[in-house]
Structure 1
Amino acid sequence: MDAQLDEKALESTLAESLDELTPDSKTVSDDEFAEVVGGALEAVGGTLLFKMCVDSGGEGQHVAAACVGDGGSRQFLLLTLPTTGG
């Protein structure tokens, strides 16, 4: 499969999954973030490498690193979401 098409499919799947967390103004929990990211990565054959919550200038951010593909075609991803959603 073309790497650019693969990247677009991954981006679309992750965006759709993360959109599920933003319908209201509640705080997004670490478990909710992990569940949505994990589901999106599973859909595209990706692997979650790590996740954490960091404070960026008084605003919390969920951060996750993941990879998709193998060998020379492996891509690394950095995913972020404010704890307030968005």
Structure 2
Amino acid sequence: MDAQLDEKALESTLAESLDDLAPDIKTVSEDEFAEVVGGALEAVGGTLLFKMRVENGENGEHVAAACIGDAGNRQFLLLT
């Protein structure tokens, strides 16, 4: 029975430790998102195709599509 208690205590301690590691969720404004995406695309010579905000329940996410490269070397990116 002590082994079961030790396992429960270990599980509890591990769960608490993992909660401490969870990142804080930061809300990003549309302007901040546009600035970061624009800077990243400028650095790699990419082109913004579109950006939008997608509602997800109470929270929303900013999403953008972009591409880098030309013709056969073109790659499409989905940025969140």
Give the total of aligned pairs: 58
C-alpha deviation, 1:58, in angstroms? 2.9
**Hey, which bits of structure 1, 4+ residues long, moved more than 4 A?**
none
Q: Residue 61 of structure 2 corresponds to which residue in structure 1?
A: 61
Q: Residue 39 of structure 1 corresponds to which residue in structure 2?
A: 39
Q: Residue 71 of structure 1 corresponds to which residue in structure 2?
A: 71
C-alpha deviation, 1:25, in angstroms? 5.4
Give 5+ residue unaligned stretches, structure 1: 1-23, 81-86
> Identity percentage over the alignment?
81
Give 5+ residue unaligned stretches, structure 2: 1-23
| Greater Cα radius of gyration, structure 1 or 2 | 2
TM-score (norm 1): 0.61
Higher relative contact order (CA 8 A, sep 6+): 1
Answer 1 or 2: which has greater helix percent: 2
Cα distance in 2, alignment partners of residues 65 and 26 from structure 1: 21
Q: Deviations over 1:5-52 (max 9, x none)?
A: xxxxxxxxxxxxxxxxxxx75521101100110000000000011101
CA RMSD of aligned residues (A): 1.8
